[in-house]
Structure 1
Amino acid sequence: MLERKSTYSIGNVPAGFQSEVERLKAQAVMGWDKEFRNLKWYGLHNGMRVLEVGSGPGFITEQLVNSLPDSQITALEYDKSLLDEAERRIAAPPSSRLELVHGSVYETGLADNTYDFVIARLLFLHLHNPSDAAKEIYRVLKPGGKLVIIDIDDGIFGAVNPDSAVLPSVIRKLAAHQAAKGGNRYVGRSLPLTESGYCDVDMDAVVQHSDLHGIEGFRQQFNINRYTPFYKKGMISEEEYGQISRVSEALNSSPEAYAMMTFLIACGRKPGEI
């Protein structure tokens, strides 16, 4: 039986499965052009054998299949319901082009020295043991292959308009809740690449802004229903909940509203030559 060792489970999302899938879609596709530009800058190119770990319902997987028409793409996902969603949703390419694998990033079951490039997007913040995951990815990379991690750090979260004085305290409380479950919403500053054997480590940032990508994806991220369970449990105060509600309403109705989110992108190479 696969061991989770992760804070994320779509079955525990209060909004329900389909609503969460739509949120994940908005989160994935709104900044793909920028993320793909960075991935190519770090060496991703057509024809490579590519592994996506924590592939979820397959929105990034689909982008990879379409953007790299001569590459073999493997998508690894722990949650079978999300893997099934990806299989239903992605227009089936030849089996030689796409492989969906039910597995854990800690123990993938994949062969040594197999992949040219591995992508982990918004996965490491959920992991109890990120170093173990990085080492397992190292094992399946070819010598000279690269791991790119795209993730968050709530210390440089971003910005919204209208501004909310309580948003920083709410973010800290949600980060503390994540940490208590074994995750890390500040993982962007402490990704375990060097300690796991990777060399030529580099970091950059990808900025997503509603003026560039549209407001809809940000509405999903600030949907008040995502914060309601924390309010009901007493983790955020009535004042904090009220202010977040006003931000959510403004993003849905105000022409002056905008939002910006910052994602960190880190790359490490397995020593050797492909």
Structure 2
Amino acid sequence: MKERNSTYNIRHATLGYQAEIERLKVQAMMGWEKEFRHLQWYGLQNGMSVLEIGSGPGFITEQLVNNLPQSEITALDIDSTLLDEAKARLDRIPSSNLRFVQSSVYDTGLPDDSFDFAIARLLFLHLHHPAEAAREIYRVLKPGGKLVIIDLDDGIFGAISPNMNLLPSVINKLADHQASKGGNRYIGRSLPRLLAKSGYIDLDMDAVIQHSDLHGMEGFKRQFDLNRFKVFYKNGIINEEEFEQIQQASENINHSPEAYAMMTFVMACGKKPEHF
């Protein structure tokens, strides 16, 4: 089942289902230690009731369970196939610590004022109506509860070396393509305003940097997998020169010991007022 008003559907992944699962795993684990450090800084503590929205195949869910053994984790996703992946991986976890909910971020069906902390990782860039989702999460948070959104902004995507001159052009075209489907790859810069308009207070924002010299090259190899870009070339979204540069960048990242890469993720936090 596809999320209503969302651009992501794993069945349409250019890499194919299993390769996309592996890409999501590497992507989740690359920066987890830094992301968890920031989550703790924003107030996440063991023993809290935690909602993970858009939990997918459960790689972050697993880390939350392992790092918060006395918390009650609720993993919510609309896609039954991805939830089945997560359930199979985490079948050892008792239901007192972890429950799965198949539901939409726009209408979770969860009770008001239920969670101390909510996490949405790489979800909001796909949503047609992010404010609607933010307000639904606000509803299910307890007074004083917090939402942390971990997402991207292609305006500060990162860098690769050797440099790819046409990388900004490719990024802009892929962002435009996402926008044409209703998503927003520049969502990062909008998050403080989005949270404020949805009623959150005590806003904060940080960047999390992933660098291949610190986190390994494997995740960047997945990001620059040539198969991810072939469909954009075939459909005329990127041109031949841009595709050739991506091909060279992929070759460098996969085989050159001199190559390195850096990516930037955005984290934004807001709190539901304690008295409203």
Q: TM-score with structure 2 length normalisation?
A: 0.97
Q: How does 1:51-62 map to 2 (within 5 A)?
A: 51-62=51-62
Judge conservation of contact 2:3–2:79 (CA < 8 Å) in 1. Answer: no
Determine the structure 2 residue equivalent to 1:271: 273
Cα distance in 2 for residues equivalent to 1:13 and 1:94:
32
Alpha-carbon contact 2:2-2:9 (below 8 Å) kept: no
SS at match of 1:147: strand
Residue identity in the other structure for 1:130? P
Residue 78 of structure 1: how far off its partner (Å) = 1.0
Question: Which of 220, 223, 243 is 1:221 aligned to?
Answer: 223
Gap change, CA 1:3 and 1:246, over 3 Å in 2: closer
Amino acid at match of 1:260: M
Where does residue 16 of structure 2 map in the other structure?
A: 16
Matched, 1:85 2:79: no
The one-letter code matched in structure 2 to 1:72 is E
Matched, 1:236 2:238: yes
Structure 2 residues not aligned, in runs of 5+: none
Deviations 1:44-74 (A, max 9, x none): 0100000000001000000000000000000
Q: Distance in 2 between matches of 1:166 and 1:142?
A: 46
User: Which residue of the partner structure matches residue 262 of structure 2?
Assistant: 260
Q: Is the 8 A contact 1:170 1:236 kept in 2?
A: yes
CA contact (8 A) 2:2 2:79 kept: no
Deviation at 1:115, TM superposition (A): 0.2
Measured on the aligned residues, the alpha-carbon RMSD in Å equals 1.1
> Does the CA contact (< 8 Å) of 2:142 and 2:272 recur in 1?
yes
**How far apart are 1:2 and its partner, in Å?**
7.8
CA contact (8 A) 1:2 1:103 kept: no
Matched residue SS, 1:51: strand
Displacement of 1:90 in angstroms is 2.0
Letter in 2 for 1:27: Q
Between Structure 1 and Structure 2, how many residues are aligned? 273
Matching of residues 79-158 of structure 1 within 5 Å: 79-158=79-158
Deviations 1:132-191 (A, max 9, x none): 000000000000000000000000000011110011000000000000000000000012
> Hey, what's the Cα distance between the residues in 1 that align with 2:161 and 2:79?
35
Question: C-alpha displacement at 1:79, in angstroms?
Answer: 1.1
Letter in 2 for 1:221: Q
Identity across matched positions, percent? 68
Q: Find the aligned partners of 1:47 and 1:31 in 2 and give their Cα distance.
A: 23
1:170 matched residue in structure 2: 170
CA contact (8 A) 1:2 1:104 kept: no
1:189 and 2:195 correspond: no
Please name the residue that 1:201 is paired with: 203
